[in-house]
Structure 1
Amino acid sequence: MNTYSKLPLSLVAMVLSCMMVSKAIANDAPAAASAKPKAVAASGPSDDDLSKALLNKINKGSGDIVIRTGDLPTGNPPPQAKPETKPEAKPKVAKAPAKPVEKDPIEVVQWTYMDGPGGPENWASLGKENLACMKGKSQSPININVDRAVKAEMAPLEFLYRPSPLSIVDNGYTVLVNYGEGSNVIAEGRQYRLVQFHFHKPSEEAINGDRTDMVAHLVHQHHDGSFLEVSVLMSTKPPASTRRYLWGNDEVKGNSLIQTLWNNVPLVKGKVETPPVVIDVNQLLPADRGYFTYMGSLSTPPCTENVLRYVMKTPIYVSPEQVKNFDRIYPMNARPLQPKGDRLVKESTGN
C-alpha cells in the first residue's frame, strides 16, 4: 500500500481544499475580484466525495494528488459566479427650456423740435449717427447778415422742373412731398435731381436776424450722393407789386400749390397718400431768382454736412389762412440758428 493512504482523512481533506482554493484563485482572480460571493448549490460534490477521490488517486500510485474534474463523481457542475449586472440607466428627462427673464422695455427717445430729452440740444446724444448735430462745424440754419455777404457775379440756378403726380405724407415732423423723377436743378455746372420738398414754421433761415412765416426746403441729390438744398422763404406780407386803389388793393390770393397740398394732407401720420392729382413745383419759385449761398448741413438728424445751400432772396406770398392751417399741424418745427463761424456767404448779383 502506498504510504499516502495512511494519512488521516482530515489532513487529506485539508490539503485538497487548499489546492482547490489556490487553483481557483489563480485561474479566476479577475472574475472573483469583481464578483459578489454566491451561495454554493447543494447539488455540488461534498467533502466525503473529495476525500474518496483523493484516496483513490493515492492508492493508484500515480504520484500526484491533483484532483481533476474527471476524478470527481458525476453531478451538477460547481456553480459559476455570475457577472455583476449594472443597473439599467434611467432615461434622461428633457428639461423644459428656461423662460427668458422679462426686462423692462428701454424707452426710445425720439428727436423733436421742443425742449426736453429729444430736443435740438440733445440730438447728438440720441445716437452716434447724430454726432454732427453737436460737433459739426458747418451746421444749418444760420443767420445771413446781408452786409457781411460777399457780392459776386454767379451763374443763376437753372430750375429744370416738370409736373409730377402728388405723393404726400405727414411724417411726424413736417408735411413732405416726394417728387417724381425727371426734375433737376443745375448749379455750378452740376446737375442735382429733385427728390422731395417739405416745410418749416417759422423759416429756419434768418435774413438780418428776421425769420419769415414759413419756408419750403427743396432737397436735391447728385448721383455721387451729395446734397443741394434750395430754401424758398414764404411770407404773408403782400408783394410790393400789389396795386393800391382808392377803394382798396388788388386781391392777393394764397399760393395755389400750397392750397392743393393742404387739401390732400393725410389724416394718418406716416401714411403716404397718392391722390389723382398732378402738381408743379415751379409754383413755389419766386419770380426773382437771386440767392444767397453757403456750405451747410441738413437741418434735421443726422445733420449731415457738406450740403450746398441756396436761400432765395425774395419770398413767395402765402395767405395768413394757409399759414394757420400748417400751424394747426405743426405750430413750430424749426431748428435753432447755428453758429456761422468763419464760413463764407455769397450773394448773387445781376440775376
Structure 2
Amino acid sequence: MASILNRKDSGWYWIKVKAPDGTWKAEATRIRKDDSRAERKLKLLIAEKETEEHRTELGGGGGWDWVAGYMRIRYHGSPKTHRRILEAWTSLVMWFDDNKLFGPRDVTHAHCLQYPGWRTNQPKERMQKAGWNTALMELKVLGMILQQAVVRNIIIANPAARLGLRRETVKKKPEITGTQQAQIELALKTAPQWMRDSWLISMRQGVRISETAIPMHQIDLARKTLYVIGKGRKVHAAPLHEDLIPLIKEAKKKKLKVLVELPRNPSKCWSQWFHKNNFTDLSFHSTRVTVITRLLRVGHSKAHVQAYVGHASETIQDIYNRLSAPDVRHLGAALKAGASNPPDENQGETEANPKPTEPSTDHPAS
C-alpha cells in the first residue's frame, strides 16, 4: 500500500509505492511541504497509486484508472464543467481512500448512502467544506462514473442508482432593493475595477458572474448585440444595453481580450465583499434575480424576459411565482364591471379591437 515519506532533506513530499515486480521504491511528488492543500493532494495521489497496485487483483482496468481519461473525453469543449467535475472527483477519491474502495466493484449501495454524512463532516483543514446538496451533487458524479463502469462491463449494476436522497430546500436569492442598490454602488467606488464593471454589466444584462468576462469578439457594437455562451455551451444573443457602450469602447481601446478580467474565484470575492459591507443576505446571483424580477414586475412576458437574460426558464418561473399581491394588483382592472368584453371569434381584429402587443424588452429597468 502506498504511503507518505517525509524526507527532512527535501522541501517536497515523497511517497513509497509498490513496483510491478513487487518491490518497493521511493518517488518524489510535486507537492511542496508548505502547500496549505498538501494533505488533500497527497490523498489523491496515494489513492491513484493504490489503484495501480490493485489493477491486477481487480482484473486489469477494474480500478479507477480509466476515469480521468473518460472525463476528459466526456467534457471536451466544456472546461468549466470539467473543472467542477474534477473538484467533485477529488472529494470522491479521498472517500475511496478512507473506505478502501479500490474500484467500482468495491462500492455498494450502503456506501453511497453513507457518503453525504462523511462529506458534510470533513474538517476544512482537510478539504473544502460542503453542505448536503453539494454532497448529493458529488454522488451524482459518482453515479455517472459507476454507470460508465456498467457500460465497460466492470460491474453489472449501478449501486448509486435510486438512492432516494432528497435535496434540502435552499434559501431563495433575494431581489436587491433600490435602497440597497444605491448603497452598494456608493461602496463600490472604492472597490476594484473588475467589481465595478461586473456589477454594471450584470445589473443591465442579468448575466451570471462568469458571463461578465465575455470575449470582445463576441460583442457586436454595430448590431448592439452580445453573444453570450451560457450553461451547456448554448449561445445566447442578447440585446446590448446602451449603458455598457462606454465600457466596451474603453475595453477595445485598451485592446482587452475580455470585457472584464475576473480573478480566479470571483463569486467568493463578491461574497466576502457583501459580508464586509453588511449585505449578508446578498450574493452576486442576486443581480440576475433583480433584473428578472424588475422586468416581470413592470409587465414584460416570461418569454421576453427569457429572451433578454438567456437560458433561465426555471429562475424566471420561480420569481414569477414569488411576485406579491401589490405587484399584480393592477391586473384586477381588467375584471371590473363595465370592462370591455373580448371580441367574438368571427369579429376579427378591428380598429376597436387591435391585436395585443407585448411590451419591448430593449432596455431593462436599472
TM-score interval for Structure 1 and Structure 2 normalised by the shorter chain: under 0.3
The two structures have a TM-score, normalised by structure 2, of: 0.21
User: Between Structure 1 and Structure 2, which shows a larger proportion of helix residues?
Assistant: 2
Which structure has the bigger radius of gyration? 1
User: What's the TM-score, normalizing by structure 1?
Assistant: 0.22
